[in-house]
Amino acid sequence: MIRIILGSMFGVTLLLALELRLSEQNATAGEKFVIHLIAQGKQIEFELPEKIAEYEVLSVKRANNTVIVNNDVSYEKRVSLTIQPEANFIIPSISAIVDGELQRSKPRPVAVVKPAQNLDEAYYISMSADKTEAYLNEAVTVTIRLKERADKRLLDVVYTPPSKEGFWVKQIQEDKPRQAGEFILHEMRYRYYPQREGNLTIEPPKAKIGVPKKTTDIFGTTYVPEYRTIAAKPLQIAVKAPPEAIKMVGEFTLESRVSSVETKANKPVHLFITLKGSGNFDDFEGFALELPSVVTYESEPKIEKGVYTKKFSLVSDQNFTVPALHFHYFDTKEQRIRTLKTPRYKIKVDSSINRTDPLPAAAPTASGSVEQKSGSYLDLGYALLIFAAGIAVGYLAAKARKGTAYKKERSAHTELQRLLPHADDPEVLELLYELYKKERGEKGIKIDKKRLREMLKRYDV
């Protein structure tokens, strides 16, 4: 570009040898901020920094103009440095060699302001909590709302969630946009569990929004995103400790049931535990159950939407009692430590099971099947016995080896463990024998993978 300036008699103020200009008077935290350096002369060489204060220079753009003043030709060079500051900073002195002389800009402080909650009344973000005071490990529900005008939809949104420092955090609701009057509402929810006492701050979420900007070129009119940042206000949570050190805090209910109070020898009885509440189940140590003369298998707990469930499978050849399980927590409503407990269950076991041979003599035949009297129940006690031995010996032996063989046996071991609690199903039991033989290393054993997948899917394991 060529600019022609007739002279100072017309009131024109000429550029200094080196000037520093800003895109805005104040910078906004998290947004790009542009610093312009402008020099005028016949020969210009900038000495550009890699950082402005502590912030990396993200991009450098250059532009050149030819300037004619009273028939004297010189050049105007502009360099634009882009940074993304988060706090107040000072632009240091920047140098340029102009017509053989060293020129320096003056240092300049820049104030960095926090992003606004709304932009042009069309875009808005907020953060709220269901309480401002909480006990250690008590759930605080935090809700984030982002609104955009339905007739001014954003082209892009880069969302930064609220801070987590001092809390155990779990997201409990993903964004599901919905129409709310003239706005589109985005809503997300989190559970915050305080991990230390004192006044804790939840730093606000931010949204870098791509506002539609109209541009026109030789190909027509298009819209491109012009990025701006909006941020909610921070939250203050006052946290105190309960009277006694305890991890579970809130309000809870505890339920249990057994699949049956009467069973046959070595046929499993299942105990189901359901714990409901707003506590941090991810930090819950769980329930333990050990009974003499009873083989106990416990499934991995399932945690979903404030519900903790667990299953125990209990196998014995004699009567036994399932003791009460206890759950201790601090009740925020009653302001005291409470204990919930399950009932005791007396399980009657019928040990009169018909066998073709005594237990030690019972064994798989050469074909791999197990002999039994017509109509009698397949001896699950024997199955559990050989499975336990197979798991202990076969798995440890496989672990000592390397390569494909180890991977195959490890896989069989895993599938056996997942299906074992459901061995009261004859189809499952038959498949367990095949898995056991495969794990033990017997040759020629082929597992019906389709059937295996069906069993795993049937019991959701």
Mean pLDDT of 172-197: 92
Count of beta carbons in the 10 Å neighbourhood of residue 118: 13
210-219: long-range contacts at Cβ-Cβ below 8 A with a sequence spacing of 24 or more?
210/154, 210/155, 210/156, 210/157, 211/119, 211/123, 211/152, 211/154, 211/155, 212/152, 212/153, 212/154, 212/155
The model's confidence at residue 439, banded by pLDDT at 50, 70 and 90, is low
Average pLDDT, the chain: 80
The residue that leads in pLDDT, 42 or 71, is: 42
Global model pTM greater than 0.95: no
Considering the domain 118-240 in this protein, what is its CATH number?
2.60.40.10
Q: Hey, how many other C-beta atoms are within 10 angstroms of the C-beta on 39?
A: 23
pLDDT tens for 132-169 read 999 999 999 999 999 999 988 888 888 889 999 999 99
Q: For residue 209, name the pLDDT band (cuts at 50, 70, 90).
A: confident
Q: How far apart are CA 170 and CA 154, in angstroms?
A: 27
Residue 153, token pair as written in the block: 């939809």
d(CA 190, CA 167): 11
Residue 380: pLDDT band with limits 50, 70, 90: very low
The SS3 of residue 52 is strand
From the CA atom positions of the chain, what is the Rg in Å?
36
pLDDT confidence tier of residue 432, bands split at 50, 70 and 90: confident
Instruction: Return the higher-pLDDT residue of 259 and 366.
Output: 259
Q: Over pLDDT 70: what percentage of the chain?
A: 80
CATH of 249-350, one of 2.60.40, 3.40.50, 2.30.30, 1.10.357: 2.60.40
CATH number (2.30.29, 2.70.98, 2.60.40, 2.70.50) of 2-113 reads 2.60.40
How much is the pLDDT for 399?
45
- φ and ψ at residue 163, rounded to 5 degrees: -70, 160
Q: Is the pLDDT of residue 61 over 60?
A: yes
Average pLDDT over residues 345-369: 53
Does the pLDDT of residue 392 top 60, yes or no?
no
pLDDT exceeds cutoff 90 at 282: no
Whole-number Å distance between alpha carbons of 417 and 420: 5
Please state the three-class secondary structure of 380-414 as a single string. HHHHHHHHHHHHHHHHHHHHHCCCHHHHHHHHHHH
Is the CB of residue 305 less than 8 Å from the CB of residue 281? no
Strand ranges in 130-280 using DSSP code E only, listed in sequence order: 133-135, 140-149, 156-160, 167-173, 178-180, 183-194, 198-202, 206-217, 220-231, 235-240, 249-250, 252-258, 262-264, 269-277
Query: CA 55 → CA 32, 51, 52, 151, distances in Å?
Result: 11, 5, 5, 37
Domains of the chain, by residue range, sit at: 2-113, 118-240, 249-350, 359-458
- Let me know: does 141 contact 129? Beta carbons within 8 Å: yes
How far from 131 is each of 38, 137, 239, 335, CA to CA, in Å? 53, 14, 11, 16
**What does the pLDDT read at residue 306?**
87
Q: Nearest 5°: CA angle at 121, between 88 and 236? A: 50
Per-residue tokens: 164: 């987590």
Work out the average pLDDT over 289-301. 88
Distance CA 170, CA 179 (A): 26
Average pLDDT over residues 80-91: 93
**Taking a C-beta distance cutoff of 8 angstroms, is the pair 413, 391 a contact?**
yes
pLDDT number for residue 283: 84
* Residues 185, 302: Cα–Cα separation, whole Å: 31
